[in-house]
Amino acid sequence: MKMRSLTLVPVRLLRVVVISAKLLLVMLFTLSARDLSGQPVPHHFSGITALPDRTISLKLDGSVSNMFSLTGTVSNQFRQTFDQYVVEATTNLVNWIRLAVLLRTNSDPNPLGFQDTNATLFSQRYYRTFTNHLITALRKPTGPFAVGTLSRVVTDASRSNRYSLPTNSSFMTTFWYPAEPPGAGRLPCLYTDRAVAGDRSFYTYWGYSYQWTSAVPWFVAHSTADLALAEGTSRFPVILHSHGWTCDRRFNSQVAEELASHGYIVVAVDHEDCHATVYPDARGTRYVAPGSRIDYALLLSRIRDLQCLLDELVSLDASDPLLAGRLDLEHVGVMGHSLGGGVAAETARLESRIRCAALLDAAIDFSFYSVLNSQGLRKPFLAMNSTIPLPGIGDLSSGSQRLFTLATNDATWLKINNTGHFAFSDWAWSVDMTAASRPGAVAVNACLVWFFDTFLKGQTPAFPTNSQLINVQRK
C-alpha cells in the first residue's frame, strides 16, 4: 500500500507549539471547507484549543464521500464502516511518538475530537496526522496488546498440484500476534491482498454485490506488519484457524486481531478451496472457481494443512526471525468457521498437539467424520451457532449439537441471537452487516477469549454475559 505521511507532505501539516501559557498556531496550508457531496477530503486538523488546564483539544476532519461511487445498500453499509486517524506528537520535530489511533464512522459529519492530556508536561508540542484515508470495517481490538502480523509460505513436500500448479506443494499462512506498539510513521497494513479483495466471483457467488470489490481492496486492518513481538512474556499460546468453504485465511481477521490483542498467536491457512491466494513470488495470484467440490479428499487436504502447519511451527519457533522462541507449542488450540469448523473438530480429535477447539457455526457432515459421530470430541470445545438459516442450506447447528450430546465435560454449546452464518466472519462488520450482526460478532469475540483463556491459559474468567447469547448449554 502506498501511503503519504504528513512528514513528507508538509503543506498538509498543522503544527502546534505550546510555549508557557501561550498558544501559537501555525498552519502552512488550509484545506477548503468540507463538502460532503463532493470529492473526498484528505485527513487534516480542523481546529485546536488550549484549555484552561493546559491540555490541548484537537479536531480532525476529512471525508470519504464519493470515493468509490457505491450505490444502494452497499453505499449505506460502507458509510457505517470507519476511517482511522493516526495522531502523532513530538516536542522537537525529530522524535515522534504515536499519540492515538481514532475511529470515526464514515457517515458521521462531525469533526473528530481528541484531548491531549499529556500536553501539560511539555513546554512545546507538535502534532501530525496522515493525509490518507485509512478505511476499515473492523472495530479496534480490545485487549492490552498491539497487534502485529506477518505471512509465511509453508511447504508440504508430500503433496503437489495445489491450485493446478503441478509442482506446487506450498500454501500461504498469516500470523497475528501480540506486539510492541508501532513506532511513529507506521501505518496499519492492508486488510487483505488487493487481488483477493477484488475477486468479484466470491461476492456474487454468495449473493452479494460486486460493488464491494471497489472498496474492500482499500480497507486496512488494525494490525501492523512485522512488528516485534511483545516483550515481558517469553511465549504465547497458539490458535490455528481453518476458514469457511471457498473463503480465505484473512476472512476472520477481526477475530484473529481480537485474540492476538489478548495474548495469543493466531495462524490461518489458505486451503486449496480458498477463492484466491497470493504468493510472494512468480506463482502470483491463484484463483479457484466458485463452487469447488466438497468431498472427503478436500477435507483430508484441509486437515493435512493444519497438521503440516503444526510441524512447521516447530521450525519457526527454532529459527524464524520474528517468532523464534515465542510460540508456546504446549498450549495449542484450533478454531474454524463453517466447513472449517468440522475440520477444526476432526483435527483436534486426531492431533494430540491440540488441546481444545472452537467451532464457529460449524458445518459438520458426519458421513465424512464417522468417529466424531460415534465417539464425539473428547477435548474441551466451544460451539457457537447462528439463528438465521443459511439460504439454500438451512440450520447448521445439528452437527455441533451431536458433539455436545456425546461430550461428558468441558463442552459449551450456544446460539448467537438474530445472526446469520456470516456474522461469524468479518462480513458481520460490512458486507453482511445488520443491526444485530455487529453485537453478535462482539459476543462471539467475548466467548472465544473466555474459552481460550480457560483452556489454553488455565485461567478462570467469568462466562460472558452478552445479551446475544441464547440457548446456552454447558457441561
Q: What is the pLDDT of residue 262?
A: 98
Q: What is the pLDDT of residue 123?
A: 87
Contact 450, 437 (CB under 8 A): no
Contact 434, 427 (CB under 8 A): no
To which residue does cell 502506498 refer? Answer: 2
- Name the phi and psi angles at 460, rounded to 5: -130, 60
As a whole number of angstroms, the distance between CA 270 and CA 266 comes to: 14
As a whole number of angstroms, the distance between CA 221 and CA 279 comes to: 20
Q: Average pLDDT by consecutive 10-residue portion of the chain (475 residues)? A: 36 32 30 46 92 93 89 95 95 94 94 94 91 95 98 96 93 98 95 97 95 96 97 93 97 98 98 97 93 90 98 97 97 98 98 98 96 97 96 92 98 97 97 95 98 98 98 98
Q: Where are the alpha helices (DSSP H) in 189-319?
A: 194-197, 200-205, 212-215, 253-261, 296-319
Q: What is the pLDDT of residue 26?
A: 31
Contact 385, 363 (CB under 8 A): no
Q: What is the pLDDT of residue 287?
A: 95
Strand 411-416 to 126-129 pairing: unpaired
Contact 248, 192 (CB under 8 A): yes
Q: What is the pLDDT of residue 392?
A: 84
- The reported pTM is 0.92
Give the cell for residue 17: 507549539
**Helices 437-455 + 253-261 axis angle, to 10:** 40
Q: What is the pLDDT of residue 222?
A: 98
CA trace torsion 261, 262, 263, 269 (10° rounding) = -60
